[in-house]
Amino acid sequence: MSTAPEADRLARIALNLMAEPGDPQVCALAQEWGAAELRRRLLEPGSEEPGALDVATRLAQADPARQLERAARHGIRFVMPGDAEWPSGLDALAHAGVLSDRGGVPLGLWVRGPIRLDELTSAVAVVGARSATGYGSTTAARIAADLGRAGVPVVSGAAFGIDEAAHRGALSVGGATVAVLACGVDRVYPAAHRDLLEHLAAHGAVISEAPPGWAPMRVRFLARNRIIAALARGTVVVEAASRSGALNTARWSSQLNRETMAVPGSVTSATSEGCHRLIRDGAATLVTTAAEVLELTEPMGRVHPVEEPNPSGPRDRLGTRQRQVLDAVPAVQPAGTESIARTAGIGVREVHDVLTQLLALGLVECADARWRLSHRARARH
Amino acid sequence: MSTAPEADRLARIALNLMAEPGDPQVCALAQEWGAAELRRRLLEPGSEEPGALDVATRLAQADPARQLERAARHGIRFVMPGDAEWPSGLDALAHAGVLSDRGGVPLGLWVRGPIRLDELTSAVAVVGARSATGYGSTTAARIAADLGRAGVPVVSGAAFGIDEAAHRGALSVGGATVAVLACGVDRVYPAAHRDLLEHLAAHGAVISEAPPGWAPMRVRFLARNRIIAALARGTVVVEAASRSGALNTARWSSQLNRETMAVPGSVTSATSEGCHRLIRDGAATLVTTAAEVLELTEPMGRVHPVEEPNPSGPRDRLGTRQRQVLDAVPAVQPAGTESIARTAGIGVREVHDVLTQLLALGLVECADARWRLSHRARARH
């Protein structure tokens, strides 16, 4: 059943005002029937579902036009499927199933801030423990800053700890960053993050599936996590205790076939346990830098300033003959050229020439016509 | 060609005195033809191989019986394929190929110490960087001690750093531990490990493919690494810089289809880079405890004191109804019973009963007839 766009918008908002974010039935039926038709059926008297009367009452009382107008006065817009700004990554939620009884494509998202959601196609989510360690916060901020420098938006949840560090890291280099909240985008949660949220609303975006005014509740965090994962091309868990909510975001990322990544840490740190388990179970790929994140999330060919992770040593630049001779040089007790030639299985004259080359390269030492590895070469056994 | 065992033994020792440890050609031909036949052919005049004359001369000069007798006087025995003490794990080297131009089943091993090599079937290798951090050394010692307590022998290389910590960890709980050296088992390398090596020779075993008296050389470390990997059911790399020799042992472990494991650490630690790369590339499984090592290396059914890695929280013990209500309780701003009932979609009376149960479980707080999550439940979003 086709509906005029504005009627569809108002129907979606009416349903959004009535249903919990990520209610899998409401999301699925709105996809299947269209929001206007779902709204119409829910308003029909005589539905036999328990609680239907209550739903009908609430739906009848909702005033979506007024809500939309009031939101606009606070700089809040409603972005929904079909809008130019709609982030196409969220459509994958239609087929990603249900986790913790949450799932489906949201009816729409409430958004505050200048970043357009359709500009987040290369975004990476950086999430993790509220009770992060200094190590975790520093690492999250560094990865987010490097992503920001590479022009990749950072998605997170504005919570204490890793989320906060991720947003601040991106902001510190003028990078794009958006926060997805479990409460309305006009609410301040946690209260201590008033400035951060204001800054995000002014320079990035604050996003929620829950209508303005709604409070943060556990079930809404679970619904929120799927939006974070679906907005991003991949999710990095920086620190997570073994039962952290960030693991729910990681599960959504896997469920959506996005890159799921985790940062390792000390084996004695409880806040790294969840990360280690994800990696160990094959649910996440170990990453240590933004460059490694981008290797996994970026389509081939896009150029990024990727750090050189494994600089080649002097040994790699040697020829075969040089390596053969180097391999025959004793580490500690010096040996004569003849002895080295015998071990290497190469003629004495040639060995002498090669040893002289290795000496020039700083790989061997020579005293009293006897040779051994230099300290530098010794360190590479 | 079949040979009397003692003739075979002397032929193997003669070849062992002439060839570099892990010379892939010598090892392969000794397997194929038998050591006596290989020795006979090498002594034949007129071989056209370059250097054959030199080999023949050295082989002719070797006195294996005298070498064996002299070794025995120093408490050193020669263990070879076919001996009751031969560790069967080493036979896999026949089909494991060649790395860094080393490979093959050794002609035999020189052994000093009371542990029999055929008792190492459940052994685990714990190896890593010489320039280990305190974190790495502590972790290696803890894992080795826990392996020792579980009755699992620890194999390592007696080097500074991780190797040393692994041996000492096993010794600290009276566990079995053996060192595989790149030099002769009568030599002390590194010199600072005189006491450690004496202790290992007295209580464990010191093993080498290189004959007594031979010096440590780079090529012998590479040959040695394959013996460490082949003696063990799995290899744990605790710390390794991106070009550490421990990565060569890890490659041998993979090549032998043994469990290859690595311990994570801080992303800023250069000595964890090699471990992170192994895990990231799928070449090693991330492990953080001996229990996790044993999960991977022990055949099913063998009982070990394995720690509980993921204790279940109070939430896991709740019924469906209790969870539904808990999910509807606000995290911060308290809500009345009716509001919670509406969110949960459950009747008010039932919700009140369940809230009282959750209160008793410490999952919610109540003030002025309004409810919110307790601090404990909030930490689990």
- Is the CB of A286 less than 8 angstroms away from the CB of B280? yes
Q: What does the alpha-carbon distance between residue A198 and residue A231 come to, in Å, rounded to a whole number?
A: 21
CB B240 within 8 A of CB B129: yes
**Model pLDDT for residues A98-111, shown as the tens digit of each residue:** 999 999 999 999 99
pLDDT reading at B264 higher than 50: yes
Among chain A residues, the shortest Cα distance to B345 is held by A51
What's the structural domain count of chain B? 3
pLDDT of residue B315: 66
pLDDT reading at A66 higher than 90: yes
More confident residue, B310 or A111: A111
More confident residue, A127 or B42: A127
Is the domain of A16 the same as that of A115? no
List chain B residues with CB under 8 Å of A263: 267
| Domain interval for residue A371 | 314-378
Average pLDDT score over residue span B146-158: 97
In a domain, B308, yes or no: no
pLDDT reading at B2 higher than 60: no
Among chain A residues, the shortest Cα distance to B240 is held by A380
Q: What does the alpha-carbon distance between residue B126 and residue B232 come to, in Å, rounded to a whole number?
A: 9
Tell me, what DSSP letter sits at residue B107?
A: S
> A with B: how many residue pairs have Cβ under 8 Å apart?
142
% of chain A with per-residue pLDDT over 90: 70
Is the domain of B84 the same as that of B170? yes
**Model pLDDT for residues A44-57, shown as the tens digit of each residue:** 866 666 566 677 78
In a domain, A279, yes or no: yes
pLDDT of residue B70: 97
List chain A residues with CB under 8 Å of B240: none
Is the domain of B256 the same as that of B340? no
CB B340 within 8 A of CB B355: yes
Confidence of residue A309 (pLDDT cuts 50, 70, 90): very low
pLDDT of residue A62: 85
The phi, psi pair for A178, rounded to 5°, reads -130, 145
pLDDT of residue B303: 46
Is the domain of B229 the same as that of B279? yes
Q: A332-341, B61-70, B222-231: lowest mean pLDDT where?
A: A332-341
Strand partners for A236? A126, A261
Mutate one of A25, A187, A217 to test the B interface: name it (highest B CB count within 10 A). A217
The ipTM of this complex is 0.73
Chain A closest-CA separation from residue B381 CA (Å): 5
Is the CB of B51 inside 8 Å of chain A's CB atoms?
Answer: yes
Confidence of residue B310 (pLDDT cuts 50, 70, 90): very low
What is the domain-level CATH number for residue B324? 1.10.10.10
In a domain, B343, yes or no: yes
**Model pLDDT for residues A176-215, shown as the tens digit of each residue:** 999 999 999 999 999 999 999 999 999 999 999 999 999 9
pLDDT of residue A51: 61
pLDDT reading at A369 higher than 90: no
Is the domain of A49 the same as that of A81? no
Strand partners for B367? B370
Is the domain of A207 the same as that of A286? yes
Average pLDDT score over residue span A277-288: 96
The radius of gyration of chain B from alpha carbons, rounded to an integer in Å, stands at: 29
Average pLDDT score over residue span A263-281: 96
List chain A residues with CB under 8 Å of B219: 327-328, 343
Is the domain of B233 the same as that of B349? no
Average pLDDT score over residue span B131-143: 95
Among chain A residues, the shortest Cα distance to B20 is held by A343
In a domain, A181, yes or no: yes
List chain B residues with CB under 8 Å of A343: 20, 217, 219
Q: How far is CA B292 from the centre of its chain?
A: 12
Is the domain of A28 the same as that of A176? no
CA dihedral of A143, A146, A152, A158, whole degrees rounded to 10: 40
List chain B residues with CB under 8 Å of A377: 218
In a domain, A68, yes or no: no
Residues 280 through 299 of chain B touching chain A, CB cutoff 8 Å: 280, 285-289, 292
Final residue of a structural domain among B297, B324, B346: B297
pLDDT reading at B160 higher than 90: yes
Final residue of a structural domain among A270, A297, A324: A297
Chain A closest-CA separation from residue B73 CA (Å): 25
Q: A303-312, A368-377, B255-264, B272-281: lowest mean pLDDT where?
A: A303-312
In a domain, B304, yes or no: no
Final residue of a structural domain among A297, A322, A355: A297
In a domain, A306, yes or no: no
Q: What does the alpha-carbon distance between residue B6 and residue B311 come to, in Å, rounded to a whole number?
A: 58
Residues 175 through 234 of chain B touching chain A, CB cutoff 8 Å: 182, 189, 215-219, 221-222
Mean pLDDT, chain B, whole residue set = 89
The tokens describing B288, both together, are: 């953080």
Mutate one of B20, B55, B280, B322 to test the A interface: name it (highest A CB count within 10 A). B280
Is the domain of A134 the same as that of A280? yes
Is the domain of A112 the same as that of A142? yes
The tokens describing B260, both together, are: 């290859």
What is the domain-level CATH number for residue B210? 3.40.50.450
Task: Calculate ∠ Cα A183-A184-A186, nearest 5°.
Answer: 125
Confidence of residue A23 (pLDDT cuts 50, 70, 90): very high
pLDDT reading at B356 higher than 80: yes
Is the domain of B33 the same as that of B45? yes
In a domain, A305, yes or no: no
Is the domain of B169 the same as that of B212? yes
Confidence of residue B51 (pLDDT cuts 50, 70, 90): low
pLDDT reading at B333 higher than 80: no
Q: What does the alpha-carbon distance between residue B381 and residue A361 come to, in Å, rounded to a whole number?
A: 58
Q: Which of A189, A264, A313 sits opposite B264 (nearest CB)?
A: A264
pLDDT reading at A304 higher than 70: no
CB A326 within 8 A of CB A377: yes
CB B298 within 8 A of CB B346: no
